Amino acid sequence: MPANMPQGPSDIFDHLLPLGFQAYPDRVREVNAIIVFKITGDDGGMWVLNCETSPPKIEKSMLDSIPEAYEGAKSTVKIETDSDSFKRMMLSPDEGMELFYTGKLLITGELEVISRMKVFFDLSRSEPGIAKI
Amino acid sequence: MADTELDELKAQLRQTQKQLSDAKGRIAAVELHSREIERDAKIATTQAETLKAETEAALGVAAEQMKMAHTISCAVYGMNQLSRSFMARKITSARIAFRENELVDVLAAMCVATDKNDLTQLKVLADQAKNKVAVIKADGEMNRTKFHEHFIALGFTKFEETYESLLTAKG
């Protein structure tokens, strides 16, 4: 990863994306769902993006399963991948389909939530100083 | 009519009856075969329609899955870009904080120069302060509250006007 970029999932979910959640709470809440990222490999872990609460928050989970607090949440989607695949998606939005068809990106849960995740892409495009694609 | 002729006619009749019977049998067999063909055709049509529907459904699911995978990929890419932006902000903010601390040191030296009534040194330091403010302003906003706290802690209340002029200075 280039030095001026987040180095992996923990850099994003533990340190930087929470700042985005703080800066744009209303936009993040448009997702109105629980998104669980389970990432295996180096720098992996499980993170719960709670986009239902006000303010929205990101929690790192030490458990292998979705934390009990989120069991039965109305809209939950779980995204499973490995650290290298996650980094590929960090660099290019076109990687997802190949990863999905090679079984490296697994999606379970309330699938209609996924269309609302577009908010994160839209938010990044509205950020000043970031190159647009 | 002679008996022979009669026998012959009877034989012909039997033959004709047999041919008729055979023909009926063949017609029945053809009809049966035709019904079988018709039934097979209906089954084949149903199977083709089912297959078509299944194929369309599978294509629809595949397209939907591709769309979902692409959206997730876009979301992760967006998260990365958003993170980059906040990373840059953190770096800028740290740089501004560093420059602000440097500025506080210059102001502290200005305070000493004022107490000594050293106008020459005061002018040099004021220029330095203006330059540092210009550098901070190029990066972003100064932390005005924090700056005031430093200002007051150093006993700079008498420099309020200088502070304001520093903020508006062009370097």
pLDDT at B132: 84
Distance of residue A63 Cα from the nearest chain B Cα, in angstroms: 22
Does residue B49 have a pLDDT over 60? yes
Task: Tell me the pLDDT tens digit for each residue of B54-103.
Answer: 999 999 888 888 899 999 999 999 999 999 888 888 888 888 888 888 88
Contact list in B for residue A114 (CB cut-off 8 A) is 68, 71-72
Is a pLDDT exceeding 80 seen at residue B162? Answer: no
The CA-based angle B119-B123-B124, given to 5 degrees, is 120
Q: Which token pair is B133?
A: 């403010």
Cβ(A90)–Cβ(A110) below 8 Å: no
Check pLDDT > 60 for residue B169.
no
Q: How far is B61 from chain A (nearest CA, A)?
A: 12
Distances (CA, A) of A97 to A61, B62, B64, B70: 27, 10, 11, 6
- Report whether B155 contacts B111 (CB < 8 A): yes
Check residue A71 and report its DSSP letter. Answer: T
Q: In one letter, which amino acid is B123?
A: K
Q: What was the pLDDT predicted at A130?
A: 56
Residues A61 and A67: beta-carbon distance below 8 Å: yes
Distance from the first to the final alpha carbon of chain B: 146
Considering chain A, what percentage of its residues have pLDDT values greater than 70?
Answer: 89
Selected residue with higher pLDDT from B160 and A18: A18
**In CATH, what number does A9-122 get?**
3.30.1050.10
Percent of chain B topping pLDDT 70: 82
The DSSP secondary-structure symbol of A17 reads H
pLDDT, position A79: 94
Q: Does B82 contact A93 at a Cβ distance shorter than 8 Å?
A: no
**What ipTM did this prediction achieve?**
0.89
Q: How far apart are CA B82 and CA A120, in angstroms?
A: 8
Residues 56-95 on B with a CB inside 8 Å of A are 65-66, 68-90
B161: confidence class by pLDDT, cuts 50, 70, 90: low
- Helix (H) or strand (E) run with residue A81 in it: strand A76-82
Closest CA to B90 of B135, B150, B140: B140
Model pLDDT, residue A132: 47
> Which pLDDT does position A50 carry in this prediction?
93
Nearest 5°: CA angle at A126, between A122 and A129? Answer: 130
pLDDT means over runs of 10, chain A (133 residues): 83 93 94 94 92 92 72 81 95 92 92 91 76 47
- Whether the predicted pLDDT of B2 surpasses 60: yes
The pTM score is 0.69
Distance separating alpha carbons of residues B27 and B33, to the nearest angstrom: 10
Taking residue B164's Cβ as centre, other Cβ atoms within 10 Å add up to 10
Tell me, what's the pLDDT at B154? 67
- Cβ contact (<8 Å) for B78 and A19? no
Nearest CB partner across the interface for A117, out of B75, B80, B89: B75
Q: What residue ranges do the domains of chain A occupy?
A: 9-122
